[in-house]
Amino acid sequence: MNGWIILDKPVGLGSTQAVAAVKRVCREAGLGKVKVGHGGTLDPLASGVLPIALGEATKLCGRMLDASKVYEFTVQFGTETAGLDAEGEVVATSHVRPTIAEIEAVLPRFTGAIEQVPPAYSAIKIDGQRAYDRARAGETVEMKARAVTIHSLRHAGLDPASIAPDEQWTPDQVRGDEAEEARLASITLTAHVSKGTYIRSLARDIARAVGSVGHVTMLRRTKAGPFDLRQAISLDKLNAFGQGAAQSDIILPLEAGLVDIPALNLSPEAAGAIRQGRVWTGESTHDGLYWGRDADSRPVALIEALAGTLRVVRGFNI
């Protein structure tokens, strides 16, 4: 069994628990013992796209971890928590509530190549220990800034529910131009980010940039690498697979994780050589990364082409 299950992970479920659920369902579906891995941790408090690889697709998990991702998230202004999320202890407060114009003015600062300091409550290792273990033990954790890239950052428009309770705005006013003067208790943003980006840190820094403090109250991943919510299935649908639902409705083929790489049709001789890990020469193609497929369209390997020579980057035993 080789392919992908794209889970729309619910809030409260950890990524490791999601992998365990897939293993259980595969056993219930009669697939036996299947190698399973995930393509990027998603916090228990977050929901959304969690790519789970089966069999030979697990060889692409590292590539999925390196892929860019898209998140929707809500920043609640006025309180900053230790974990920068809804469950952490409050560590700072502010009476400042920004306007939509003030938020729009600072978003360009957080677009492009930036440096950010990860949350102390993160899985980053410091001297062999997870940062969150040190933080939970009461240690003061010094996190080093890291370079990340925010490809795009925008807000989803003004939601009347986000206006601060002490602001006297009618629904008609909220839809008008003057609503830019309304003070906001929260804002929902969409960010397309590189690997290693912490959305909780991004929310913290945006709140501070507008003269307030803040934390994340909603976080949803809408895209991870080539996969988005259109391909994602619910936990209920996953469980239905274990009870006999059609496999074609649940499992995507391995090559679904390679749609951003061009395919290269291999001759039987080239496919045989590549499967054995040998270098193949005399191929007329542009330099670059490809996924090679045989005459039956089965994935053979990730291949690097250079000056007419093909070398195996990652082989698939299919």
Which CA distances in Å does 172 have to 160, 263, 271? 10, 53, 65
Please state the φ and ψ torsions of residue 144, each to the nearest 5 degrees: -85, 145
Query: Collapsing DSSP states into helix, strand and coil, what is residue 288?
Result: strand
Q: Which of 43, 127, 159, 296 is catalytic?
A: 43
Q: Is 43 one of the annotated active-site residues of the chain?
A: yes
74 φψ region: left (φ > 0), alpha (ψ -120 to 50), beta (else): beta
- Report angle CA 193, 229, 198 to the nearest 5 degrees: 25
- Asked if residues 10 and 235 have their Cβ atoms less than 8 Å apart, the reply is yes
> Which residues neighbour 107 within 8 Å (Cβ) at sequence distance 6 or greater?
153, 154, 155, 189, 206
Whose CA is closest to 191, among 206, 172, 177, 210?
206
- Asked if residues 84 and 204 have their Cβ atoms less than 8 Å apart, the reply is yes
Please state the φ and ψ torsions of residue 180, each to the nearest 5 degrees: -60, -15
288 φψ region: left (φ > 0), alpha (ψ -120 to 50), beta (else): left
- Asked if residues 256 and 4 have their Cβ atoms less than 8 Å apart, the reply is yes
Catalytic residue positions?
43
